[in-house]
Structure formats: structure tokens, C-alpha cells
Amino acid sequence: MMVLDDTFKRGFADQSDLFERVMALQGKIYREMDGRRTFQFTHAGKSYFAKLHFGVGWAEIFKNLLQFKLPVVGAVNEWKAIQKLNALNIDTMHLVGYGSKGLNPATRQSFVITEDLGNTLSLEDYCAPWKTQAPLSGQTLSIKRQLIQRLASVAKTLHQHGVNHRDFYLVHFLLDMTTSETQLAAGNITASLIDLHRVQIRRQTPQRWRTKDIGALYFASLEIGLTKRDIFRFMMAYQGGTLRQTLAQDKAFWQASQDRAIKLYNKLYQRNPEFPFRAGLI
């Protein structure tokens, strides 16, 4: 199976063996691991990103299954995830092409190609200065609050529609930097969610996967100087109720999410995080 945007397809002078031509593309490599390569390249004068899958092998598949993890054996996850996020009106990558070849999951080759998002900055990098230069007023404070609302809305929409990301970190949100500070403060924010190859889609999102997503996002936010009010603002936006309601009805969920964040933080930094709470979230 192969689907290519007509404009992208016309960029190949030779239209024969297009699957092999796509799999042979080269460019600036951003990641290469587990039979998968992600890189940026230029085609017919336009910038794109490609994620090529060359087959992970049976050893990797069995290792994941023995660890009770669903192995990622191709680009189909990302292809379906992009389409799902588009249907949910969540900012993400613009799909240009997808292809898959072979029936054996251990050796199947596949690709997904998206347009380069252009002038963007990950929220991890954008928010990093807040730890030492906390937004206290004006546009910077408004932008922080707008971003908290936006990420809570994205998480809520995903989870209400049976989607969980599995790598739900600030680094995987790319903020459009062509937008002015004034526009950002007014809520004109484009923060595209990327790295979708591990996304899971079901009829309903199980509680443990909601916890893992929110825990990962909370972990990624522990180094940007969030306040107690910031955390509460996210909680209320995610749950869609008052603070009293969410603390009363969903205490176990928020506690489990915080425990997840602490575990990830301890694993990376070998110490406990400095929470904006004396005794934790709850």
C-alpha cells in the first residue's frame, strides 16, 4: 500500500518504483534506532520530514511482548494517529505520504512523510527560562496561562476520544514561532503534537494510560517553575470542573499521575523534585 500527495509525487522525475525511491531518500538525521530512521530532507524545493521503518526483527518484537509492551513495527501507527488528530482538530503534522510493503511484521518496510513545520520551538525549550525568570505579569504570564489551557485541552480531547500518546512530554509540542508575543498572549497558539509512532487508539482510554500521559507531562513540567495555581489551573481545565470537584472526585487519578512524575524524575535525576507543594499534590 502507498499513498503520496500529488505535488510530492510529481517531484520525482522517474515515477517508477516510487516505494523504493522514497525508502532510499537521504537527509539530515534526527534519530536512528530500532530499525527506524527520522530525518529532514528537501524535495522539489520544499522541506519535509520522513520516518522510515526497515523492520525491527523478531527479537525486538518478542522483547516488547515479554515486557507487556505493544511493539511498533511500522509507520502505520503514525499515519493513523495523524489522521485521528486531524479529525479532532488538534495541531499536528501535515501528512504527505505513507507506504508499507511486506506481510512479515519483523521485516516489513514502511514510511510516513510530513511537511516540515518550519520555524518552531519545542515547549521544553520555550518554557525552560521560566524556572529562573518566572512570568509574573503582562504578556509572558498570559502566554503561560494560555499554554497551560491549551495543553490541558489537548490532553482532555485525546483521552475523551480513546487516544493516548505514550510520550506525552513538552519536547513533543512544537510552538509556531512565527506568531507574535501579542498573538500568543491572546490565545492564537499553534503547538503541534509530534512523535506519534507509539500512539494508541481505542474506543476508550484506560485509566492507567491517562495516568501515564498526564504523569509524563507533569514530569516534563517540573523543571519550568510552575506554581500551585498553575497546576490547579491545568487540573480544572482537564477535568472541566471546579477545583473542589476535581480534588474530591479524581483524587486517586491525580495522585497516581504525580507518583508517575516522581518516579520518572527520580530515574533521570537521582533525586526528588522540588514541588510547588510541601507535601505533594494531594
Query: Where in the chain are the domains?
Result: 2-115, 120-269
Which segments in the chain show pLDDT lower than 50? 278-279
Q: Which residues contact 180 (CB under 8 A, 6 or more apart)?
A: none
| Residues with catalytic roles | 167
The pLDDT value recorded for residue 114 is 98
pTM: 0.92
pLDDT of residue 278: 47
User: In this predicted structure, what is the pLDDT of residue 279?
Assistant: 47
Query: CA 5 to CA 48: how far, in whole Å?
Result: 12
| Yes or no: domain 2-115 corresponds to CATH 3.30.1380 | no
> Under CATH, which number does the domain 120-269 receive?
1.10.510.10
Residue 190 has a pLDDT of 97
**DSSP string for residues in the chain:** -EEE-HHHHTT-S--TTHHHHHHT---EEEEEETTEEEEEEEETTEEEEEEEE---HHHHHHHHHHTT-----STHHHHHHHHHHHHTT--BPPEEEEEEE-S-TTT-EEEEEEE---SEEEHHHHHGGGGTS---SHHHHHHHHHHHHHHHHHHHHHHHTTEE-S---GGGEEEETTS-HHHHHTT---EEE---TT-EE-SS--HHHHHHHHHHHHHHHTTTT--HHHHHHHHHHHHTS-HHHHHHHSHHHHHHHHHHHHHHHHHHHSS----SSTT---
